Protein backbone atom coordinates (compact mmCIF):
# COMPACT_ATOMS: atom_id res chain seq x y z
CA UNK A 1 0.00 0.00 0.00
CA UNK A 2 1.52 3.39 -1.03
CA UNK A 3 1.77 6.36 1.31
CA UNK A 4 -1.17 8.16 -0.29
CA UNK A 5 -3.51 5.20 0.23
CA UNK A 6 -2.25 4.72 3.79
CA UNK A 7 -2.90 8.39 4.57
CA UNK A 8 -6.42 8.14 3.11
CA UNK A 9 -7.13 5.02 5.21
CA UNK A 10 -5.97 6.78 8.38
CA UNK A 11 -8.22 9.73 7.60
CA UNK A 12 -11.19 7.41 7.07
CA UNK A 13 -10.59 5.60 10.39
CA UNK A 14 -10.26 8.92 12.21
CA UNK A 15 -13.51 10.10 10.65
CA UNK A 16 -15.36 6.96 11.80
CA UNK A 17 -14.04 7.33 15.37
CA UNK A 18 -15.02 11.01 15.51
CA UNK A 19 -18.44 10.25 14.06
CA UNK A 20 -18.98 7.52 16.71
CA UNK A 21 -17.98 9.85 19.52
CA UNK A 22 -20.17 12.65 18.16
CA UNK A 23 -23.12 10.28 17.80
CA UNK A 24 -22.69 8.95 21.35
CA UNK A 25 -22.45 12.48 22.70
CA UNK A 26 -25.56 13.73 20.95
CA UNK A 27 -27.83 10.72 21.28
CA UNK A 28 -28.71 10.17 24.94
CA UNK A 29 -30.01 6.67 24.25
CA UNK A 30 -26.54 5.49 23.20
CA UNK A 31 -24.68 5.80 26.45
CA UNK A 32 -21.44 4.11 27.39
CA UNK A 33 -23.20 1.21 29.07
CA UNK A 34 -25.37 0.70 25.97
CA UNK A 35 -22.33 0.31 23.73
CA UNK A 36 -20.36 -1.96 26.02
CA UNK A 37 -21.72 -5.39 26.81
CA UNK A 38 -21.52 -6.02 30.54
CA UNK A 39 -21.42 -9.40 32.19
CA UNK A 40 -24.90 -10.14 33.51
CA UNK A 41 -25.09 -11.48 37.06
CA UNK A 42 -26.72 -14.90 36.92
CA UNK A 43 -30.09 -15.02 38.66
CA UNK A 44 -31.97 -18.31 38.64
CA UNK A 45 -35.20 -17.23 40.32
CA UNK A 46 -35.26 -13.54 41.26
CA UNK A 47 -36.96 -11.17 38.81
CA UNK A 48 -36.93 -7.90 40.73
CA UNK A 49 -33.34 -6.76 40.17
CA UNK A 50 -30.38 -7.19 37.84
CA UNK A 51 -26.65 -6.43 37.93
CA UNK A 52 -24.22 -5.97 35.05
CA UNK A 53 -20.46 -5.80 35.46
CA UNK A 54 -18.50 -3.59 33.05
CA UNK A 55 -15.11 -4.00 34.70
CA UNK A 56 -14.50 -0.57 36.22
CA UNK A 57 -18.11 -0.28 37.31
CA UNK A 58 -21.37 -2.18 37.61
CA UNK A 59 -24.98 -1.21 37.07
CA UNK A 60 -27.73 -2.22 39.47
CA UNK A 61 -31.36 -2.03 38.41
CA UNK A 62 -34.24 -2.45 40.85
CA UNK A 63 -37.15 -3.54 38.67
CA UNK A 64 -39.79 -4.34 41.29
CA UNK A 65 -39.25 -2.31 44.47
CA UNK A 66 -42.88 -2.85 45.51
CA UNK A 67 -46.01 -4.44 44.01
CA UNK A 68 -47.14 -2.88 40.72
CA UNK A 69 -44.31 -0.33 40.77
CA UNK A 70 -44.29 1.92 37.71
CA UNK A 71 -40.71 3.06 38.23
CA UNK A 72 -37.37 1.31 37.98
CA UNK A 73 -34.27 2.47 39.83
CA UNK A 74 -30.77 2.34 38.36
CA UNK A 75 -27.51 2.76 40.26
CA UNK A 76 -23.88 2.93 39.17
CA UNK A 77 -21.54 0.92 41.39
CA UNK A 78 -17.96 2.15 40.91
CA UNK A 79 -14.80 0.38 41.85
CA UNK A 80 -12.79 2.10 44.57
CA UNK A 81 -10.35 4.63 43.12
CA UNK A 82 -12.36 5.20 39.96
CA UNK A 83 -12.80 8.90 39.19
CA UNK A 84 -16.43 9.73 39.91
CA UNK A 85 -16.01 13.18 38.30
CA UNK A 86 -15.31 11.44 34.99
CA UNK A 87 -19.01 10.52 34.91
CA UNK A 88 -20.64 13.50 33.25
CA UNK A 89 -23.50 12.65 30.90
CA UNK A 90 -23.45 8.97 31.92
CA UNK A 91 -24.21 9.51 35.59
CA UNK A 92 -27.42 11.35 34.75
CA UNK A 93 -29.00 8.00 34.01
CA UNK A 94 -28.65 6.82 37.59
CA UNK A 95 -30.37 7.54 40.86
CA UNK A 96 -26.96 7.61 42.51
CA UNK A 97 -23.34 6.59 42.12
CA UNK A 98 -22.01 4.30 44.87
CA UNK A 99 -18.33 3.56 45.42
CA UNK A 100 -17.53 -0.08 46.19
CA UNK A 101 -17.09 -1.91 48.38
CA UNK A 102 -19.65 -0.37 50.76
CA UNK A 103 -17.99 0.61 54.03
CA UNK A 104 -21.00 1.75 56.07
CA UNK A 105 -24.62 0.76 55.56
CA UNK A 106 -28.07 1.27 57.07
CA UNK A 107 -30.73 -1.38 56.46
CA UNK A 108 -34.36 -0.99 57.47
CA UNK A 109 -35.72 -4.53 57.69
CA UNK A 110 -34.61 -7.43 59.86
CA UNK A 111 -34.77 -9.57 56.69
CA UNK A 112 -31.70 -7.70 55.40
CA UNK A 113 -29.51 -8.59 58.37
CA UNK A 114 -28.96 -12.31 57.57
CA UNK A 115 -27.52 -11.38 54.16
CA UNK A 116 -24.92 -9.16 55.83
CA UNK A 117 -24.01 -11.88 58.31
CA UNK A 118 -23.85 -14.65 55.71
CA UNK A 119 -21.45 -12.50 53.66
CA UNK A 120 -19.39 -11.66 56.75
CA UNK A 121 -19.94 -7.88 56.45
CA UNK A 122 -22.20 -7.31 59.45
CA UNK A 123 -19.57 -4.95 60.90
CA UNK A 124 -20.52 -2.38 58.24
CA UNK A 125 -24.04 -1.98 59.68
CA UNK A 126 -24.15 1.36 61.52
CA UNK A 127 -27.86 2.05 62.02
CA UNK A 128 -31.23 0.29 62.18
CA UNK A 129 -34.83 1.37 62.96
CA UNK A 130 -36.30 -0.69 65.80
CA UNK A 131 -33.25 -2.54 67.11
CA UNK A 132 -35.37 -4.53 69.58
CA UNK A 133 -36.73 -6.50 66.64
CA UNK A 134 -33.24 -7.83 65.83
CA UNK A 135 -32.75 -11.36 67.16
CA UNK A 136 -29.32 -12.35 65.79
CA UNK A 137 -26.91 -12.76 68.69
CA UNK A 138 -24.01 -11.55 66.59
CA UNK A 139 -25.72 -8.31 65.61
CA UNK A 140 -27.23 -7.83 69.07
CA UNK A 141 -23.69 -7.63 70.50
CA UNK A 142 -22.97 -4.70 68.18
CA UNK A 143 -26.28 -3.06 69.10
CA UNK A 144 -25.58 -3.45 72.81
CA UNK A 145 -22.07 -1.98 72.57
CA UNK A 146 -23.31 1.05 70.63
CA UNK A 147 -21.81 0.17 67.23
CA UNK A 148 -25.31 0.20 65.68
CA UNK A 149 -27.42 3.31 66.33
CA UNK A 150 -31.16 3.18 66.97
CA UNK A 151 -33.04 5.02 64.20
CA UNK A 152 -36.55 5.00 65.63
CA UNK A 153 -39.50 3.52 63.77
CA UNK A 154 -39.36 2.40 60.16
CA UNK A 155 -42.34 4.53 59.13
CA UNK A 156 -40.73 7.58 60.71
CA UNK A 157 -36.96 7.12 60.73
CA UNK A 158 -34.91 9.57 62.78
CA UNK A 159 -33.35 11.27 59.78
CA UNK A 160 -31.22 13.52 61.96
CA UNK A 161 -29.32 10.56 63.40
CA UNK A 162 -29.14 8.86 60.01
CA UNK A 163 -27.70 11.95 58.33
CA UNK A 164 -25.17 12.18 61.14
CA UNK A 165 -24.08 8.61 60.40
CA UNK A 166 -23.93 9.44 56.67
CA UNK A 167 -23.78 5.83 55.44
CA UNK A 168 -22.61 4.94 51.94
CA UNK A 169 -26.06 3.55 51.21
CA UNK A 170 -29.45 2.92 52.84
CA UNK A 171 -31.23 -0.30 51.92
CA UNK A 172 -34.94 0.35 52.43
CA UNK A 173 -38.25 -1.19 51.48
CA UNK A 174 -41.37 0.54 50.28
CA UNK A 175 -45.00 -0.38 49.77
CA UNK A 176 -46.05 2.34 47.33
CA UNK A 177 -43.13 4.69 46.67
CA UNK A 178 -44.14 7.38 49.15
CA UNK A 179 -41.68 7.66 52.02
CA UNK A 180 -40.88 11.16 53.24
CA UNK A 181 -37.95 9.99 55.37
CA UNK A 182 -36.28 8.39 52.37
CA UNK A 183 -36.90 11.49 50.27
CA UNK A 184 -35.03 13.57 52.86
CA UNK A 185 -32.16 11.07 52.87
CA UNK A 186 -31.91 11.07 49.08
CA UNK A 187 -31.91 14.88 48.93
CA UNK A 188 -28.97 14.83 51.35
CA UNK A 189 -26.99 12.84 48.79
CA UNK A 190 -27.23 9.44 50.46
CA UNK A 191 -28.24 6.66 48.00
CA UNK A 192 -31.40 4.74 48.86
CA UNK A 193 -31.88 1.27 47.37
CA UNK A 194 -35.34 -0.26 47.70
CA UNK A 195 -35.06 -3.98 48.39
CA UNK A 196 -37.99 -5.78 46.77
CA UNK A 197 -37.20 -9.32 47.91
CA UNK A 198 -40.63 -9.58 49.55
CA UNK A 199 -42.35 -8.96 46.19
CA UNK A 200 -40.88 -12.11 44.60
CA UNK A 201 -43.17 -15.04 43.78
CA UNK A 202 -41.22 -17.95 45.26
CA UNK A 203 -39.14 -18.68 48.39
CA UNK A 204 -35.93 -19.24 46.42
CA UNK A 205 -36.44 -16.03 44.44
CA UNK A 206 -36.63 -14.09 47.70
CA UNK A 207 -33.50 -15.75 49.06
CA UNK A 208 -31.57 -14.94 45.88
CA UNK A 209 -31.56 -11.24 46.79
CA UNK A 210 -28.44 -11.99 48.82
CA UNK A 211 -26.74 -11.47 45.45
CA UNK A 212 -27.73 -7.79 45.55
CA UNK A 213 -25.71 -7.42 48.76
CA UNK A 214 -22.94 -9.44 47.14
CA UNK A 215 -22.73 -6.83 44.38
CA UNK A 216 -22.53 -3.97 46.92
CA UNK A 217 -19.55 -5.57 48.66
CA UNK A 218 -17.77 -7.04 45.63
CA UNK A 219 -18.64 -10.47 47.02
CA UNK A 220 -20.56 -11.90 44.08
CA UNK A 221 -18.75 -15.24 44.25
CA UNK A 222 -19.43 -15.63 47.95
CA UNK A 223 -23.11 -14.70 47.53
CA UNK A 224 -23.47 -17.15 44.65
CA UNK A 225 -21.89 -19.96 46.68
CA UNK A 226 -24.10 -19.26 49.71
CA UNK A 227 -27.26 -19.17 47.62
CA UNK A 228 -26.33 -22.35 45.74
CA UNK A 229 -25.98 -24.20 49.04
CA UNK A 230 -29.38 -22.91 50.24
CA UNK A 231 -30.91 -23.94 46.92
CA UNK A 232 -29.38 -27.43 47.13
CA UNK A 233 -30.65 -27.93 50.66
CA UNK A 234 -34.11 -26.67 49.70
CA UNK A 235 -34.40 -28.95 46.67
CA UNK A 236 -33.06 -31.91 48.66
CA UNK A 237 -35.72 -31.32 51.31
CA UNK A 238 -38.37 -31.07 48.59
CA UNK A 239 -37.25 -34.44 47.20
CA UNK A 240 -37.48 -35.99 50.66
CA UNK A 241 -41.02 -34.62 51.07
CA UNK A 242 -42.07 -36.07 47.73
CA UNK A 243 -41.60 -39.56 49.19
CA UNK A 244 -44.44 -39.08 51.67
CA UNK A 245 -47.33 -41.43 51.07
CA UNK A 246 -49.84 -39.35 53.02
CA UNK A 247 -50.74 -35.67 52.56
CA UNK A 248 -52.30 -34.09 55.63
CA UNK A 249 -54.89 -31.36 55.08
CA UNK A 250 -53.66 -27.95 56.17
CA UNK A 251 -55.32 -24.71 57.30
CA UNK A 252 -53.41 -21.41 57.65
CA UNK A 253 -53.92 -17.95 59.11
CA UNK A 254 -56.52 -16.55 61.48
CA UNK A 255 -59.08 -13.78 61.86
CA UNK A 256 -58.18 -10.10 61.89
CA UNK A 257 -61.28 -8.22 63.01
CA UNK A 258 -63.98 -9.82 60.83
CA UNK A 259 -61.75 -11.22 58.07
CA UNK A 260 -59.75 -14.46 57.91
CA UNK A 261 -56.58 -13.97 55.88
CA UNK A 262 -54.92 -16.95 54.17
CA UNK A 263 -52.18 -17.32 51.55
CA UNK A 264 -53.48 -17.72 48.01
CA UNK A 265 -52.46 -20.78 46.02
CA UNK A 266 -49.80 -18.99 43.94
CA UNK A 267 -48.07 -17.27 46.88
CA UNK A 268 -44.60 -18.13 48.21
CA UNK A 269 -46.28 -19.40 51.39
CA UNK A 270 -48.38 -21.82 49.37
CA UNK A 271 -45.24 -22.84 47.47
CA UNK A 272 -43.73 -23.99 50.76
CA UNK A 273 -46.81 -26.11 51.42
CA UNK A 274 -46.73 -27.58 47.93
CA UNK A 275 -43.04 -28.43 48.22
CA UNK A 276 -43.68 -29.95 51.65
CA UNK A 277 -46.16 -32.26 49.88
CA UNK A 278 -49.27 -31.44 51.88
CA UNK A 279 -52.87 -30.79 50.93
CA UNK A 280 -53.34 -27.07 51.44
CA UNK A 281 -57.09 -26.57 51.23
CA UNK A 282 -56.86 -23.37 49.16
CA UNK A 283 -54.09 -24.53 46.82
CA UNK A 284 -56.22 -23.98 43.71
CA UNK A 285 -56.78 -20.24 44.26
CA UNK A 286 -54.97 -17.74 42.04
CA UNK A 287 -55.87 -14.42 43.64
CA UNK A 288 -53.43 -11.54 43.92
CA UNK A 289 -52.39 -10.98 47.52
CA UNK A 290 -53.87 -12.81 50.50
CA UNK A 291 -57.27 -14.43 50.50
CA UNK A 292 -59.79 -12.53 52.63
CA UNK A 293 -62.61 -14.82 53.74
CA UNK A 294 -65.37 -14.93 56.33
CA UNK A 295 -65.15 -17.22 59.34
CA UNK A 296 -68.01 -19.29 57.99
CA UNK A 297 -66.30 -19.85 54.64
CA UNK A 298 -63.13 -21.06 56.33
CA UNK A 299 -64.93 -23.19 58.89
CA UNK A 300 -67.06 -24.96 56.30
CA UNK A 301 -63.96 -25.98 54.36
CA UNK A 302 -61.36 -26.50 57.07
CA UNK A 303 -63.22 -27.70 60.16
CA UNK A 304 -61.65 -31.14 59.80
CA UNK A 305 -58.18 -29.96 58.68
CA UNK A 306 -55.54 -32.12 60.33
CA UNK A 307 -52.98 -29.33 60.80
CA UNK A 308 -53.21 -25.58 61.37
CA UNK A 309 -50.11 -23.52 60.60
CA UNK A 310 -49.30 -19.87 61.39
CA UNK A 311 -52.43 -18.76 63.28
CA UNK A 312 -51.49 -15.10 62.97
CA UNK A 313 -49.58 -13.71 65.98
CA UNK A 314 -51.20 -16.02 68.57
CA UNK A 315 -48.75 -18.04 70.65
CA UNK A 316 -51.05 -20.15 72.83
CA UNK A 317 -54.34 -22.02 72.70
CA UNK A 318 -55.58 -19.84 75.53
CA UNK A 319 -54.96 -16.63 73.56
CA UNK A 320 -56.52 -18.13 70.45
CA UNK A 321 -59.67 -19.15 72.33
CA UNK A 322 -59.85 -15.81 74.12
CA UNK A 323 -59.80 -13.91 70.82
CA UNK A 324 -62.58 -16.03 69.30
CA UNK A 325 -64.22 -18.96 71.06
CA UNK A 326 -65.29 -20.43 67.71
CA UNK A 327 -61.68 -21.44 67.04
CA UNK A 328 -62.23 -24.30 69.49
CA UNK A 329 -64.59 -25.97 67.00
CA UNK A 330 -61.74 -26.83 64.61
CA UNK A 331 -60.37 -30.35 64.86
CA UNK A 332 -56.80 -29.01 64.76
CA UNK A 333 -57.56 -27.00 67.92
CA UNK A 334 -59.16 -29.95 69.68
CA UNK A 335 -56.29 -32.28 68.72
CA UNK A 336 -53.60 -29.74 69.65
CA UNK A 337 -52.23 -29.75 66.10
CA UNK A 338 -51.54 -26.03 65.68
CA UNK A 339 -48.01 -24.77 64.97
CA UNK A 340 -46.71 -21.22 64.98
CA UNK A 341 -43.46 -19.32 64.41
CA UNK A 342 -44.63 -16.42 66.58
CA UNK A 343 -43.46 -18.05 69.82
CA UNK A 344 -39.84 -18.41 68.61
CA UNK A 345 -38.23 -15.10 69.49
CA UNK A 346 -34.90 -13.49 70.27
CA UNK A 347 -33.94 -12.13 73.67
CA UNK A 348 -35.59 -8.74 73.01
CA UNK A 349 -38.79 -10.20 71.59
CA UNK A 350 -38.11 -10.13 67.85
CA UNK A 351 -39.72 -13.00 65.92
CA UNK A 352 -36.85 -14.98 64.43
CA UNK A 353 -38.90 -16.08 61.41
CA UNK A 354 -39.35 -12.47 60.32
CA UNK A 355 -35.58 -12.06 60.36
CA UNK A 356 -34.32 -15.33 58.86
CA UNK A 357 -37.29 -16.74 56.99
CA UNK A 358 -36.57 -15.02 53.67
CA UNK A 359 -32.83 -15.75 53.72
CA UNK A 360 -33.22 -19.41 54.72
CA UNK A 361 -36.19 -20.95 52.91
CA UNK A 362 -34.48 -24.33 53.22
CA UNK A 363 -35.01 -24.21 57.00
CA UNK A 364 -38.62 -23.09 56.61
CA UNK A 365 -39.35 -26.01 54.29
CA UNK A 366 -37.65 -28.50 56.62
CA UNK A 367 -39.78 -27.18 59.48
CA UNK A 368 -42.95 -27.84 57.51
CA UNK A 369 -41.80 -31.30 56.49
CA UNK A 370 -40.97 -32.13 60.11
CA UNK A 371 -44.45 -31.04 61.21
CA UNK A 372 -46.37 -32.66 58.34
CA UNK A 373 -44.20 -35.76 57.79
CA UNK A 374 -42.20 -36.24 61.01
CA UNK A 375 -41.05 -39.71 59.97
CA UNK A 376 -39.10 -38.25 57.02
CA UNK A 377 -36.88 -35.99 59.17
CA UNK A 378 -36.67 -37.94 62.41
CA UNK A 379 -33.48 -36.26 63.70
CA UNK A 380 -34.35 -32.70 62.64
CA UNK A 381 -35.36 -30.04 65.17
CA UNK A 382 -37.47 -27.17 63.84
CA UNK A 383 -35.92 -23.71 63.63
CA UNK A 384 -38.99 -21.48 63.47
CA UNK A 385 -42.24 -23.42 63.90
CA UNK A 386 -43.15 -24.77 67.32
CA UNK A 387 -46.35 -26.29 68.74
CA UNK A 388 -48.70 -23.64 70.07
CA UNK A 389 -48.23 -23.21 73.83
Break the chain into its structural domains and give their ranges.
1-30, 39-230, 242-387
Query: Rounded CA gap, 97 and 237, in Å?
Result: 41
User: 268-275 vs 220-241: helix axis angle to the nearest 10?
Assistant: 50
Chunked mean pLDDT (size 10), the chain, 389 residues: 45 42 41 62 97 91 93 90 58 87 97 97 97 95 96 85 96 86 93 96 97 97 98 98 96 94 94 97 89 96 97 94 95 97 93 96 98 95 95
pTM over 0.85: yes
Cα 284 to Cα 250, 271, 276, 280: the distances in Å are 13, 12, 16, 9
Query: What per-residue confidence (pLDDT) applies to 87?
Result: 52
Does this chain's domain 39-230 share its CATH topology with 242-387?
A: yes
Query: Rounded CA gap, 124 and 104, in Å?
Result: 5
What CATH topology corresponds to 242-387?
Rossmann fold (3.40.50)
Query: Rounded CA gap, 256 and 130, in Å?
Result: 24
CATH number assigned to the domain with residue range 39-230, chosen from the 4 options 1.10.150.120, 3.40.50.1980, 3.40.50.970, 3.40.50.720: 3.40.50.1980
Query: What per-residue confidence (pLDDT) applies to 83?
Result: 59
* Residue 357 contacts residue 350 (beta carbons within 8 Å): no
End-to-end CA distance of the chain: 91
Query: What per-residue confidence (pLDDT) applies to 88?
Result: 54
8-state DSSP, 327: G
Amino acid sequence: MNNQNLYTLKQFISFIICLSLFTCKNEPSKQLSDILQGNQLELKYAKGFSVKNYGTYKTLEIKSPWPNADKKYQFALLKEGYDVDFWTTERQRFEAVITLPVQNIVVTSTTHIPALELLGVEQTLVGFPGTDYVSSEKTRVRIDNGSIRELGKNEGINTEVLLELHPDVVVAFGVDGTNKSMEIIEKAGIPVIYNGDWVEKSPLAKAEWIKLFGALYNKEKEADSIFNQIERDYLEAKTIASKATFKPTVLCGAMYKDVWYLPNGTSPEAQFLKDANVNYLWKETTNTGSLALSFEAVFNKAKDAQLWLSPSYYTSYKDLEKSNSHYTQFNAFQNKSIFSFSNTTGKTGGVIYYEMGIARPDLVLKDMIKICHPELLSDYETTFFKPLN
